[in-house]
Structure 1
Amino acid sequence: MIESPTLHTSHTIPIDELMALSVEEYNKERPFPADRMKKIPLWKKLWNERRLKKLINKLLDDIGPYVPEIREHMDEPGEIPASVMDEVKALLIDAMKTIDEKKLLFERPFLAHFIEQGYLDVAETFIFRTRNEDSRLDNAEVFQALRNVWIMNSLQLCWEIPLALTPPMYAYSLLYPYTDNMLDDPNISPEAKQTFNRRLGKVLAGEHLSSNEPVEQRIFALVEMIKDDFPQAHFPPVTESIQLIHEGQVKSLLQSSGPPLSQEEIRTISFFKGGTSVLADAYLIKGTLTREESTFAFHYGAFLQLLDDLQDKDTDETERNQTLFSRKQDKAAVDQEIRRLITYIFTVNTVDTEDSSAAALMKDVISQCTLLMVMEAVGKNPETVTRSLYKELESFSNVRLTFYKELENKASDILKTN
């Protein structure tokens, strides 16, 4: 039996309290928040789909002439002429603004606001720096890290901090593909993973270790980059938050290599790993957090982890990874978990009177985006839910749920490099 994770290294972060609060919120019985979603008629869905197809096809045609040069320098993006990047970026911005103005995917426009605040500029800086420093990372790994940068950007906007890619943000976002992929690699023995975890734990605790392994060297260097900006003696919660996510990664190994887990045990591990991930994001942005800020960040990470688990349901079933969704074969049980997840997301993103206008906007955007992610996951795997839930979710979607797969394929055509 796995007990609720109790932190032994933390002294200032109330991790047990955050865990108890988030799991309690998730488990509460509440009405499904249908009143906070807008139903979209079928004719409008079809109209949105036609506009999106036309828009993306035009974007592909317009970007086409620049693709050969981008492909040629994909591993060295600094070699791509600035004029090419400026043209491609302008085309992408125009497309995103049209999606915003026409409300093709979201009822509340926000993409233009994000662009104006610098979302794409930060993404461009991150991709160029990552490619220049380590060309061994493939596109999927770079995007995996970029997703975390975007989460940190959303927290910056929520707390009215100018968008920027700081060294700690860069370093922490890259730790994920390096450490997660190493721990998930079936070609690496459990013994080697345990050795790596012990060594990383020592480095996070303040020891300076050398390594002959290139990936381990890179991971240790990224940890040092964080400590340069947030010395442990002056910012203990920052170090503790990274130790927490490391603890969460270690515990999550039980989901793939341990004995069968109970539903409660799986939930505990998932909330711990997810919650501590965005909690670390938040500390790396601000250095210190209020109780309200740390609670919001922990909730944010918890439901993002569950969203990942929903999206990866088929893969996790194949690889025998135990999550709240992969363990459920009964469609009604999956329905219940999805409804609980959506209710949790909307509850913890409810705007209150003390929220600034920026925080209120971000809570609404987070709710919209995460609901779309649920719809996309269901649309790509309709056989996992009942027809009743499928139709209900589709009623709130700006497009038919089957269209999300087509949209994903079109987007991959834009990003394709070979």
Structure 2
Amino acid sequence: MIDALHLHTNNTIPIDELMASAVGEYTKERPFPADRFKTVPLWKKLWNERRLKKLINKLLDDIEPYLPEIKEHRDAPSELSASTLNALKVLVTGTMHAIDAEHLLFERPFLTHFIDQGYLDVAEAFIFKASKEDGQLSHEEVFQALRNVWIMNSLQLCWNLPLELTPPIYAYSMLYPYTDNLLDNPMISPETKDDFNQRLGKALAGERLSSNDKAEQRIFTLVEHISTHFPPTRFPLVTESIQLIHEGQVKSLLQSNGMSLDQEEIRTISFFKGGTSVLADAYLVKGTLTSDEMAFAFHYGAFLQLLDDLQDKETDEEVGSQTLFSSKKDKAAVDQEIRRLITYIFTVNKREPEESVPFSRMKDVISQCTLLMVMEAVGKSPGSVTQSLYKELETFSHVRLTFYKELENRLSEIFKNE
């Protein structure tokens, strides 16, 4: 692992060492890894865009006969007929295979890799279970939780474990929409949030609590499900990892409480929250971790958090949430942060001689997919960066950066007129 980390897993998680390593890797001066990217000429980008439009239009046309049934059961996907579900999966996977076969978004078949490993099957199982247990969750909230399921699935593949929706994966992922929405809601007072955080801390420590608030009671129930699968007496580091992400969420409230933070404080909060999030994912996937597994999970969570902050830059600016991107008004400073983020991602995911083939493959998938997400974020907010960085990133993209927003809008038409 990078920097030959020497972490000890005896009785407690070495959070200070993990933090120092992650921040150190991020802030270390390195050349931008432009040599890792392939230049795509403009004519090829335009051709890729035309093919993508054609494939998406065909997908939308093919799905149209099923839309009445989909709309009828939007809040209860389990009620869709088996024939409809199978037909939709065939259409979606066929489109993804075509995108990969023609290298329209990636040089290598990353979308096909996800399909072949069973990501869509897990997603279907998760959506079915989530909708059955709580029909009041919005589609955005379910997708928010599903994103965490996919992160945990990626860890399963990294470590050659069966890709499946385990009870701890389900319970922990469902905590996200409930806790995040409560803590991020500007309409809820800081006092109410503090009170909730204190009760949640007690629940995470093993105390059985009940609440008259439906969402809060659901959170406590999910925590109990995790404790049942990983009893704290046998898996104390699983419990500790969840307590750490809770601590990270509490710390992150400082980013939006009106108090001005300097860049080091913002970075520390972001790395702690992001790193501990995927560290908890990892513990809930495996139960126990080696030093290198801990380090990789923490790095993974850190750069995913920064990627989220980049994507949410404009929203965070509007609500006054301080991140490494929203706190910068100078385009050159934003450029520098983005370059540092990309360099960090590719450093963390550098192939190591001793690692398994599945791990190396998954690292490659993570690197390329997160790079695309950076490009997508810049394409949606071109005014946030200099023309120089915009053009450089677009050079490596398989489509023009503005096309990512167009593609997203086109796909969203599937769900219009609910």
Check whether the contact 1:203–1:209 (CA below 8 A) recurs between aligned residues: yes
Check whether the contact 1:168–1:225 (CA below 8 A) recurs between aligned residues: yes
1:169 aligns with 2:169: yes
TM-score normalized by the length of structure 1 = 0.97
Shift of the 417–111 alpha-carbon distance from structure 1 to 2, 3 Å rule, reads farther
Question: Percent of pairs identical after alignment?
Answer: 74
Shift of 1:414: 2.7
Structure 1 Cα separation of the partners of residues 47 and 218 of structure 2: 49
1:27 aligns with 2:27: yes
Which AA in structure 2 matches 1:151? I
Shift of the 180–349 alpha-carbon distance from structure 1 to 2, 3 Å rule, reads same
Q: Which runs of 5+ in 2 are unaligned?
A: 1-9
Deviation string for 1:60-102 (max 9, x for gaps)? 0000110111111111222111111110111000001001111
Aligned residue number for residue 316 of structure 2: 316
Check whether the contact 1:55–1:95 (CA below 8 A) recurs between aligned residues: yes
Check whether the contact 1:75–1:132 (CA below 8 A) recurs between aligned residues: no
Residues 337-416 of structure 1 aligned to structure 2 (within 5 Å): 337-416=337-416
Shift of 1:11: 4.6
Structure 1 Cα separation of the partners of residues 146 and 270 of structure 2: 21
Aligned positions, number: 409
Shift of 1:291: 0.5
Give the 3-state SS of the residue equivalent to 2:55 in structure 1. Answer: helix
Residues 71-110 of structure 1 aligned to structure 2 (within 5 Å): 71-110=71-110
Structure 2 Cα separation of the partners of residues 24 and 325 of structure 1: 19
Structure 2 Cα separation of the partners of residues 217 and 386 of structure 1: 47
TM-score normalized by the length of structure 2 = 0.97
Shift of 1:417: 6.3
Residues 38-117 of structure 1 aligned to structure 2 (within 5 Å): 38-117=38-117
Shift of the 417–300 alpha-carbon distance from structure 1 to 2, 3 Å rule, reads farther
Structure 1 Cα separation of the partners of residues 364 and 117 of structure 2: 17
Deviation string for 1:118-164 (max 9, x for gaps)? 11000000001100100111010000000000001111111111110
Give the 3-state SS of the residue equivalent to 1:43 in structure 2. Answer: helix
Which AA in structure 2 matches 1:129? K
Shift of the 249–417 alpha-carbon distance from structure 1 to 2, 3 Å rule, reads farther
Which AA in structure 1 matches 2:265? E
Shift of 1:248: 0.3
Structure 1 Cα separation of the partners of residues 327 and 252 of structure 2: 15
Structure 2 Cα separation of the partners of residues 85 and 231 of structure 1: 37
Check whether the contact 1:66–1:84 (CA below 8 A) recurs between aligned residues: yes
Structure 2 Cα separation of the partners of residues 101 and 43 of structure 1: 19
Which AA in structure 2 matches 1:363? K
Shift of 1:416: 4.1
Check whether the contact 2:255–2:266 (CA below 8 A) recurs between aligned residues: yes
Aligned residue number for residue 253 of structure 1: 253
Structure 2 Cα separation of the partners of residues 224 and 417 of structure 1: 39
In the TM superposition, structure 1's runs of 4+ consecutive aligned residues that sit over 2 Å from their partners are 414-417
Structure 2 Cα separation of the partners of residues 241 and 247 of structure 1: 10
Check whether the contact 2:274–2:305 (CA below 8 A) recurs between aligned residues: yes
Aligned residue number for residue 151 of structure 1: 151
Aligned residue number for residue 263 of structure 2: 263
Structure 2 Cα separation of the partners of residues 353 and 287 of structure 1: 26
Residues 185-204 of structure 1 aligned to structure 2 (within 5 Å): 185-204=185-204
1:305 aligns with 2:305: yes
Which AA in structure 2 matches 1:257? N
Structure 1 Cα separation of the partners of residues 332 and 75 of structure 2: 46
Check whether the contact 2:258–2:320 (CA below 8 A) recurs between aligned residues: no
Q: Which runs of 5+ in 1 are unaligned?
A: 1-9
Check whether the contact 1:278–1:297 (CA below 8 A) recurs between aligned residues: yes
Structure 2 Cα separation of the partners of residues 306 and 110 of structure 1: 22
Which AA in structure 1 matches 2:240? E
Check whether the contact 1:41–1:395 (CA below 8 A) recurs between aligned residues: yes
**Greater Cα offset, 404-413 or 123-132:** 404-413
CA RMSD of aligned residues (A): 1.0
Aligned residue number for residue 241 of structure 2: 241
